[in-house]
Amino acid sequence: MTRQVDVKALVSHIVRGDGIDKCRICMGDTSEGQVFLGDTVMLDGNKPVTLAELLETLTGVELVEEHLCPQGVCVTCVTATLQAFELRSLVRNSERSWNDALTALRKLPTDVNAPVRTIYAFVKDDNAHILKNYSGSDSRTALNRLKSRLVHKRKRMERKPRVARNGPSCTCQDCGKVFSSPHYLSAHLQNSSQKQACLTCGAVVIRGKGMKEHLESVHGEPHYLCPDCPLLFPSQAEVDKHKRTAHKSGAHTCCDCGRSFPRASSFETHQQMHAVRTCRTCGAQFSNRGCYREHRSACEPDAKPNIKLLRRDLRSNIRDPATYTCDYCQKTYHSRPQLKNHIMWIHMNVRPHQCQWCGKRFYTSARLTEHTIVHTRERNFECDICGAKLVTKMAMVYHKRRHTGEKPYECDDCGEKFISASRRSEHAKRRHGKGTMFQCTHCPSHFVRGHELRKHVDKVHKITADSKKPSKEEAITSDL
């Protein structure tokens, strides 16, 4: 609705001075309320904007607080002003969005061989992100790609400024490796639980308190030390912020180096970095994995191939040939988790998963699931040759080998072949007297399988399985 200035009220105010409570713009009635020119009506980000500044932005007319003129504006004019500003902002944002969309469309190549041309647009926070895809992939895949692009863009914006990598050359005191700057020496000692390199001069000092004293005495840089981990901060406020996040209840923060992890599994894997490693050749010990690898490359050069001589796609598959030995049976493994599971399952007999039908216990849930099929007898595996349905996957594999005649397991003594390793092992026990035999405790008889021993005890010695059940521990190695 078009509004006009009340000229009669304006003239009356000039002549008689009775319009001080009228609207500054239309000279209309302000009995329903008024907003003064110096009042804040909106925020531009975090900056307050007064009514006079908003009117000047829209109209270009500067309305100053003159004591001879009314100081307030009626509610109707203020509402129209705010609506006009919202419309002005909407028009500008709309024009910018249209330009962005048209610019993205103009960048589409014209020499596309695929017959399908699709465009996926993902709108977030009033911004349109366009992904061009010509292979006809589904919308879920396109949405994931768009989200991944936004995450990477946010990480690039939040990335910390790059640390200067210049400085004097320095040498690691433990392994003797030479670095071109203190930055690379600090990265080399990152997994060390005790030592840390100064990024300015390359001096190697004790992590935490030693580094704090070095920075204050040598470089004159005051720092504050976290009481729960060896991390240093430039102010006490940042120490308090770090403690609230990294050392709260349930947080996974390493007390040796101060690194934090979102999951307990990642934290347990990281703790292995601080384990002391011993060289198998000379017996030297290292608390840093980088120093251990550098020492072994010089002390035992043939243990690991030269990575620089391999193709780049094969370099990540080269593993450190360090082994972990069981103290009980001297069996070796290539990783610490494998050794841990071996000790828990074999020597400590920890079997947390129990069958609800027979009460038998297993190491892992996967073994329990395989055993459950024995009770349910669900035949989910079908032979594609004859159509026979079997209970387990391995049973299907052995069944198909009967059709194909494949016998991959060969006896080392006589050359006879078998469809499974268990049948070869049974053959070696019966024919060649190799392997573990089950010895009867009542007579010199021995058997290949446990159920044969139980049947013998029940039939010959008249002892039922409930009163005397032979265990696997009773099995002994026979030389017969």
Band of the pLDDT at 470, cuts 50, 70, 90?
Answer: very low
Are 202 and 292 in the same domain? yes
- Annotated binding-site residue? 226: no
CATH code of 32's domain: 3.40.1800
Of 6-20, 121-135, 266-280, 296-310, the one with minimum mean pLDDT is 121-135
Are 346 and 374 in the same domain? yes
Residue 61: half-sphere exposure toward Cβ, Cα within 13 Å: 6
Are 396 and 452 in the same domain? no
Residue 131 lies in a domain: no
Residue 137 lies in a domain: no
**Is the model more confident about 76 or about 315?**
76
Are 285 and 208 in the same domain? yes
pLDDT tens-digit map of 332-345: 887 778 888 888 88
Band of the pLDDT at 471, cuts 50, 70, 90?
Answer: very low
Mean pLDDT within 175-199: 86
Residue-level pLDDT at 154 = 75
Band of the pLDDT at 316, cuts 50, 70, 90?
Answer: low
- Whether 383 has a pLDDT exceeding 60, the answer reads yes
- What's the pTM value of the predicted model, to 2 decimals? 0.39
Residue 12 lies in a domain: yes
CATH code of 422's domain: 3.30.160.60
Mean pLDDT within 357-361: 88
pLDDT tens-digit map of 250-287: 888 888 888 888 888 888 888 877 777 778 778 788 88
- Whether 476 has a pLDDT exceeding 50, the answer reads no
- Whether 414 has a pLDDT exceeding 70, the answer reads yes
Are 369 and 397 in the same domain? no
pLDDT tens-digit map of 441-450: 889 888 888 8
- Quote the percentage of the chain above a pLDDT of 90: 6
Q: 280 is written with which tokens? A: 């198998």
Residue 475 lies in a domain: yes
Residue-level pLDDT at 214 = 92
Q: Return the amino acid letter for 468.
A: K
- Whether 58 has a pLDDT exceeding 80, the answer reads yes
- Whether 422 has a pLDDT exceeding 60, the answer reads yes
Residue 117 lies in a domain: no
**Is the model more confident about 470 or about 39?**
39
Of 60-64, 118-122, 402-406, the one with minimum mean pLDDT is 118-122
- Whether 217 has a pLDDT exceeding 70, the answer reads yes
pLDDT tens-digit map of 130-152: 555 545 556 677 677 777 777 77
> Domain residues for 277?
170-303
If one counts the domains in the chain, the total is 5
Q: How much is the mean pLDDT over the chain?
A: 80
Are 235 and 281 in the same domain? yes
Band of the pLDDT at 119, cuts 50, 70, 90?
Answer: low
Residue 140 lies in a domain: no
- Annotated binding-site residue? 172: no
- Annotated binding-site residue? 355: no
Are 427 and 442 in the same domain? no
Are 174 and 281 in the same domain? yes
Are 202 and 291 in the same domain? yes
- Whether 55 has a pLDDT exceeding 80, the answer reads yes
Mean pLDDT within 402-412: 90
Band of the pLDDT at 309, cuts 50, 70, 90?
Answer: confident
- Whether 319 has a pLDDT exceeding 60, the answer reads no
Are 361 and 263 in the same domain? no
Are 184 and 292 in the same domain? yes
Residue 107 lies in a domain: no
Query: In 3-state terms, what secondary structure has residue 378?
Result: coil
- Annotated binding-site residue? 69: no
- Whether 322 has a pLDDT exceeding 50, the answer reads yes
Are 353 and 451 in the same domain? no
Residue-level pLDDT at 225 = 92
Residue 358 lies in a domain: yes
